[in-house]
Amino acid sequence: MSTTGDPVQKAKSAAAASERESVVWPHRHLLALEDLTADEIRLILDTAEAFEDVSTRSVKKVPALRGRVVVNLFFEDSTRTKTSFVLAAQRLSADVVDFSAKSSSLSKGESIRDTVRNIEAMGVDLLIVRHHVAGTPHLIARNVGCCVINAGDGRHEHPTQGLLDIYTMRQVKGRIEGLEVAIVGDVANSRVARSNLHGLLKLGAEVTMVGPTTLVPRAFEKMGARIAHDFDRVIEQFDVINMLRIQRERISSNVFPSLQEYSRLFGLSAQRMKRAKPDVLVMHPGPINRGIEMAASVADGANSAVLRQVTNGLAVRMAVMFLCKQAAEGS
Ligand code: NCD
């Protein structure tokens, strides 16, 4: 796709080209990659490509969502995702409001349903929801008329992170089909792992979950992943290695003897990197615990796509908000 011309027009033509191939974006909400078809995922990626160059201009704005209101409803901490949604909405010319759950009437006993219906009554078009309980964005979507986008629900899914990871892999490797992707670490507690898995399998990649038995349960095999507990034995086969943080906030018991032991067996050290393919793409959703899941030299090294992921997150979130809002206005 060309990188010149009006991005909104290009995003509309990406959508129109898909329509001609009978892929229409029908969804008002984006709640999980598990719910999407391969064609729908490709449509988001192509639409994101059309928006990519908005961020490189001196005036970083297109009028696609002018006059629309986006509310960020984050009930859990976030640095990258929240800022990325704010900037993406602003680049589409939407008005953006940040709702801080900690200083809201939820602390006075108001239910989530009442809170979101009151927020919606102020004329909101898109709600971006992060919550520590899996399924909360779905619950909210059933109770409001506006678009709802899941920005991470418990251990369940983080669809825009999955999309930006897949977008980055496609951008660097030129394809997803046939790619060998490793997802390494605290798979059991990771919504990023689940969204990556669903999206990558639909697009034809091979996915291997790597980690200790306590963090990589057999259940992932039923979802279509391969499983490996010895990183060194399998590392050389991967085109992409996506490292995960140990989600200490979701772990209640001891799942490995010590952090040093975990890091020695599953951390991506400079030494371990020597066994990987020379052009392996190293990824991490952030926040990175340097020296635990990944050495600082690897995070900042030539194979790392960590900051590229963050940059791509903007275009992907612009595409998701644009498509969902279009579907809502067309229905
Ligand atoms: C992830 C999340 O919150 O699920 N981070 C992110 O959104 N960039 C992963 C994590 O917290 O480790």
CB-based contact 287:245 (threshold 8 Å): yes
The model's pLDDT over 177-219, given as tens digits with 9 standing for 90+, comes to 999 999 999 999 999 999 999 999 999 999 999 999 999 999 9
> 80: CA distance to ligand 1 center in Å?
8
Q: Relative to the CA of 192, which ligand 1 atom is closest?
A: 4
**Mean of the pLDDT values across residues 18-34?**
85
How far apart CA 57 and CA 31 sit, in angstroms, is 31
> 67: CA distance to ligand 1 center in Å?
30
How far apart CA 317 and CA 331 sit, in angstroms, is 21
How far apart CA 182 and CA 195 sit, in angstroms, is 14
How far apart CA 159 and CA 317 sit, in angstroms, is 10
Amino acid sitting at position 263: S
Mutation choice for ligand 1 from 74, 80, 81, 284, CB with most ligand atoms inside 8 A: 81
Q: Which of 5-14, 74-83, 183-192, 283-292 has the lowest mean pLDDT?
A: 5-14
pTM of the model: 0.94
Q: What pLDDT is stored for residue 20 in this prediction?
A: 56
**Average confidence score pLDDT of the chain:** 93
Q: Do domains 7-154+311-326 and 159-309 have the same CATH topology?
A: yes
Q: Is 195 a pocket residue for ligand 1 (Cβ < 6 Å)?
A: no
What are the residue boundaries of the structural domains of the chain, listed by start? 7-154+311-326, 159-309
Q: What would be the CATH architecture of the domain defined by 7-154+311-326?
A: 3-Layer(aba) Sandwich (3.40)
How far apart CA 290 and CA 245 sit, in angstroms, is 10
Chain centroid offset of residue 311 CA:
12
Q: What would be the CATH architecture of the domain defined by 159-309?
A: 3-Layer(aba) Sandwich (3.40)
> 134: CA distance to ligand 1 center in Å?
14
If you take atom 12 of ligand 1, which residue's CA is the nearest one? 245
Would you place residue 3 in the very low, low, confident or very high pLDDT band (cuts 50, 70, 90)? very low
